Amino acid sequence: MKLDGTALAVFVALFALVTILGFVAARWHRPASLNTLDEWGLGGRGFGGWVTWFLLGGDLYTAYTFIAVPGAMYAAGAVSGWFAVAYTIMVWPIVFVLMPRLWSVAHKHGYVTPADFVRGRFDSSGLALVVAFTGILALMPYIALQLVGIQSVLQVMGLGTGSSGFVKDLPLIIAFVLLAAYTYTSGLRAPAMIAFVKDALVYIVILVAVIYIPIRLGGYGHIFSAVNTHAKTLAAAAKVKHKPPPFSLIPGHAAYWSYATLALGSAMALFMYPHSVTGVLASGRRNTIRRNTAALPLYTLLLAFIALLGYMAIDSGIKTTNYRLVAPLLFRQMFPSWFAGVGFAAIAIGALVPAAIMSIAAANLFTRNIYREYFRRSASPKEQAQVAKLMSLVVKFGALAFVLGLNTQNAINLQLLGGVWILQTFPSIAIGLFTRWLHRWALIAGWAVAMVYGTVEAYQQSTPTVAHFASSVAQVPLLGQSAYLGLTALVLNLIIAIVGTLVLRVVHPTSAGVDQTSPEDYLVDRPDDAIPKISVPSAALAD
């Protein structure tokens, strides 16, 4: 593609702005030292309402949301793309019930990671290791996909066109070196500050897109009419070849079970991801989580608008087999160059915030639940912070090497598998917030079987163009229905955990361990003067 100099100039200017903010964040409500995980990895546990709002939104609605959801709508219609809107509606009631309890017990006992909580609740370093390992494993391809989002933008702007090897990848490498540098120095404060710019850009770009682009295309009626014609054309071509239609405006009857279980399982999995928990634990108050949970569905409305970009691309005549380019191509075609640059920057900056939080969350897990637990039990808070900083670099550059060295499709496939994996921590974390009746050994057994089952089943899913890990939906044994693999594996996980608990409580009734928490720990809040809240540097935005 031809280099768009105007769009590139706007992109570079906005990228430079957030880079400066990333380094400045180290001085934002700076304590005496950042050399503790509470300060570096959780921002001092003092974020107020506005900061939490933008941090969680920036954490969960990533660059890959901008890339994957419109691409799925463009390629397959509502069956593949619209489920993301459904599950982000369902996720907030789940968060409202679970996360305030986790916040309370974590602040009471100083837990930094979900694995810390599991360690204290079930008195099991082995179960904590399982949760930490699963979290890191699931995060790696997720971080890599943020790079895929930046790659897509750079490609559509024409940057690196005609080049190969190191020269082609140099802009992406520079972007991630800068991200690594300011995350290392500022910790969670960096993505928290950048999230304000990221979310503002996303809201502006999407609101302009859903008004301006339909006006240019003749209105939403024209868009949906064009998509309907497109669906009929593809269905007719598929019928000639005796194949199922590859595109549908509305999920058909055969897809109901897959659609529903994929939405439900994804909603249950989202806040099992360590980066989601990190955003929650960084809040200064329990009620901050509850208030934000009530308001964050506004991001789901934004996601619905983002999904419609895929349909706009169909009506605008965009032709591509690389579906991750759909939204950037639409911006380049429909917007003036300067505003296309703003759109490209929104996608790229949308990668920086979650990638930073994910790497911090993975580093916290490694430091607290692997390094300290198995290598240096006497590690000081300063040493733990230093190990976490170094680990965050390893995670980022590992993801970078993954993207540069392997086919992008592999990252996409593994991210789908990551959802299957992380959902298997639901019994230990989510159910553990209400009861520790499930036995720690039974939970490990259920996790192990479910992980093997989910991975093997996912490996066997193929399409004519993808040999393995082509889908996270597969037929459920004995039912004859296709469903989300993660949810199927979770049911198997729970069956084994329940049966194993019943057996162990009879055979070895004293092996359950000692609960370090008490019922009142799950309801506590901190008084206003117990911890300083970090708010936007403006009285008008104070929590």
* pLDDT tens string 356-386: 999 999 999 999 999 999 999 999 999 999 9
Mean pLDDT of the chain: 87
Q: In which domain, by residue range, is 15 found?
A: 5-23+35-416
Q: Is residue 266 assigned to a domain?
A: yes
More confident site: 120 or 294: 120
| d(C-alpha 366, C-alpha 362), whole Å | 6
Mean pLDDT of 419-431: 96
Q: What is the DSSP letter of 476?
A: P
**Each residue of 439-498: pLDDT tens digit?**
999 999 999 999 999 999 988 888 777 778 878 888 898 887 889 999 999 999 999 999
Smallest CA-to-CA distance from 1 within 160, 140, 150 is with 160
More confident site: 245 or 373: 373
| d(C-alpha 181, C-alpha 392), whole Å | 10
**Each residue of 182-231: pLDDT tens digit?**
889 888 988 888 988 888 898 899 999 999 999 999 999 999 999 999 99
Q: What is the pLDDT of residue 339?
A: 95
The pair of three-digit structure tokens given for residue 508, joined into one six-digit string: 């070895």
- 33 sits in the region (left: phi over 0; alpha: psi -120 to 50; else beta) called beta
Q: Is residue 451 assigned to a domain?
A: no
CATH of the domain at 235: 1.20.1730.10
More confident site: 254 or 476: 476
Mean pLDDT of 156-181: 76
Q: What is the pLDDT of residue 538?
A: 42
Confidence of residue 528 (pLDDT cuts 50, 70, 90): very low
The distance from CA 343 to its chain's CA centroid, rounded to whole angstroms, is 20
Q: What is the pLDDT of residue 470?
A: 78
Q: What is the pLDDT of residue 407?
A: 61
**Each residue of 321-359: pLDDT tens digit?**
888 899 999 999 999 999 999 999 999 888 888 889 999
Confidence of residue 28 (pLDDT cuts 50, 70, 90): confident
Contacts 24+ apart (CB under 8 A), 501-505: 501/437, 501/438, 501/439, 501/442, 503/442, 504/439, 504/441, 504/442, 505/439
| d(C-alpha 98, C-alpha 429), whole Å | 9
| d(C-alpha 110, C-alpha 21), whole Å | 29
> Which residues sit opposite 115 in a β-bridge?
none
Q: What is the pLDDT of residue 406?
A: 63
**Percent of all residues in the chain with a pLDDT value above 70, rounded to a whole number:** 92
Q: Is residue 306 assigned to a domain?
A: yes
| d(C-alpha 118, C-alpha 448), whole Å | 16
The distance from CA 457 to its chain's CA centroid, rounded to whole angstroms, is 23
In degrees, rounded to 5, the angle at the alpha carbon of residue 387 between the alpha carbons of residues 381 and 392 is 125
Q: What is the pLDDT of residue 506?
A: 93
> Structure pTM?
0.91
| Residue 27, pLDDT above cutoff 80 | no
Q: Is residue 188 assigned to a domain?
A: yes
> Which residues sit opposite 283 in a β-bridge?
47
Q: Is residue 267 assigned to a domain?
A: yes
| Residue 542, pLDDT above cutoff 60 | no
Q: Is residue 478 assigned to a domain?
A: no
For 104, other C-beta atoms within 10 Å of its C-beta total 21
Cβ proximity of 279 and 55 under 8 Å:
yes
Cβ proximity of 47 and 543 under 8 Å:
no
Confidence of residue 163 (pLDDT cuts 50, 70, 90): low
Mean pLDDT of 384-400: 91
Give the range among 4-18, 259-273, 280-294, 454-468 with minimum mean pLDDT.
Answer: 454-468
Q: What is the pLDDT of residue 161?
A: 61
What 3-state DSSP class applies to 331?
A: helix
Confidence of residue 543 (pLDDT cuts 50, 70, 90): very low
Q: Domain count of the chain?
A: 1
What 3-state DSSP class applies to 201?
A: helix
Mean pLDDT of 244-273: 87
Mean pLDDT of 269-290: 93
Please report, as a single letter, which amino acid is at residue 318. Answer: I
What 3-state DSSP class applies to 534?
A: strand
